[in-house]
Amino acid sequence: MKYIYDLHKVMLKQSLLLVYEGEFNQEITKSVLAMAERNMDSFGEQRKVKTKVFNVMVESLQNIVKHSESYQEEIYGKNNAIFSLAKTDDHYFVLSGNPLYTGEVEKLKTRLEEINLMDTNQLKEEYKRIIKSKPRGELSPKGGAGLGFIDMSRKSGNKIHFDFEKINDELSFFSLRMTISRNL
């Protein structure tokens, strides 16, 4: 029972408003978004800030749903991922993590580093370039057009913080943190 109290203290210390760990699907995503919205409403958060946080959350959650593989349970469990929302006096933090195949790490790392090197105008141009280069309705094999990380960077106004931890020979754990200022 002490574990629950210890967990509560950690959440308070880390300013965690919401944490969900487990299988992600569209219904769970809707519930997580609704809880986060109620939390921000209870703080009387500015509409503009709420919109930015909500947009980043949607992209992050869609990334988990679209890109988390349904791994065999003996490898890592079924579609296990984590999502959390934290708040300080000055910022919100959208944090997520999910397994991915180790073979995908270098490509994703390179793309995230490219995005982090772009300024606001370059992000806008890259967004337009991708939109124009995709025939109408064409999606990647995983269901996206490749815009999610660009959109998160644009909407948050900040760089993407990320890391990869090797789980085993087949899988790595992708961690993502996006920061959104409360002072707009």
Domains of the chain: 2-181 (3.30.565.10)
The pLDDT, as a whole number, for residue 63 is 87
Contacts of residue 81, Cβ cutoff 8 Å, sequence gap at least 6: 21, 22, 23, 24, 64, 68, 96, 97, 98, 99
pLDDT in tens, 76-95: 556 689 999 999 999 999 99
Query: What does pTM read for this prediction?
Result: 0.87
pLDDT in tens, 124-165: 999 999 888 866 555 455 545 568 999 999 999 999 999 999
Strand-pairing partners, residue 148, are none
**66, amino acid identity:** K
